[in-house]
Amino acid sequence: MISNNLKKRLYTSIALLLLVLLIFNSKLILTYCLIILGVLSILEFLNISKIIFKSKIILILLNFFFASYIFIFCFFFLYFSNYEMFKLILFIILLGCVASDIGGFVFGKFFKGPKITKISPNKTYSGAFGSIIFSSAVVSFLFFYFSRLFNLDIIILAIIISIFSQLGDLLFSLLKRKAKLKDTGNFLPGHGGVLDRLDGILLGSPIGILTLVLLH
């Protein structure tokens, strides 16, 4: 029997894969999707930060930083989706983030074990290890399948993608815990908000791109 949490992750993964495929097919639809997701992410972060922080200066600075980050993130995707090679890299790195999330959930659910932190009670060491293993397997396979490349740099890239995807997940879990919220929003019925689904990708994919640049 598939649990509700696993179903959510699978549905989200399918939706993200469809979004990624838009990079290859429709620039216009991709643009609209990124605008919608970007605006919703900013609004959700604003709502959470208003609950946690009372200082207006801190609120303004935090939300300015986050809005700028989202803008750069979306612009980066739109700009580099013009180039065939970067399309492939974006595709692989996004799939690496998705694989990290699914691998962590499945391994954590199956092997259980000690918890990593109180921030997110469902996070276990076995889940963290599973995230790295599954993400590494997916990223390595895709690089080899599309370019016949397989070396230590690709393994390092996959591990870093997984680690920062998990850190992104933990960061937003901490914010929700501080705000005493279960979800960042209710845009996706039964799934929570946009940030609930994209938390790992928002940190994992830019760090993945940066790592790839530094390694080469």
**C-alpha distances in angstroms, 125 versus 103, 112, 191, 201?**
12, 8, 24, 20
Q: Residue 50 and residue 61: Cα distance in Å, rounded? A: 12
In the chain, the number of structural domains is 1
Q: What is the pLDDT of residue 64?
A: 93
Mean pLDDT for the stretch of residues 22-38: 76
pLDDT in tens, 58-105: 899 999 999 998 888 888 777 776 666 677 777 778 788 888 888 887
Cβ-Cβ contacts under 8 Å for 179 (sequence gap 6 or more): 48, 51, 52
Region of poorest pLDDT, from 36-45, 114-123, 124-133 = 114-123
Q: Is pTM, for the whole model, over 0.85?
A: no
Confidence band for 49, pLDDT divided at 50, 70 and 90? very high
Range of the domain at 157: 4-215
Closest CA to 171 of 194, 192, 135, 199: 199
Confidence band for 209, pLDDT divided at 50, 70 and 90? confident
Mean pLDDT for the stretch of residues 34-50: 89
In this predicted structure, the answer to whether residue 107 has a pLDDT above a threshold of 80 is yes
pLDDT in tens, 134-182: 888 888 888 888 877 777 888 888 888 888 888 888 888 888 888 888 8
Q: Residue 172 and residue 68: Cα distance in Å, rounded? A: 17
- Between 69 and 123, name the one with better pLDDT: 69
Mean pLDDT for the stretch of residues 204-210: 82
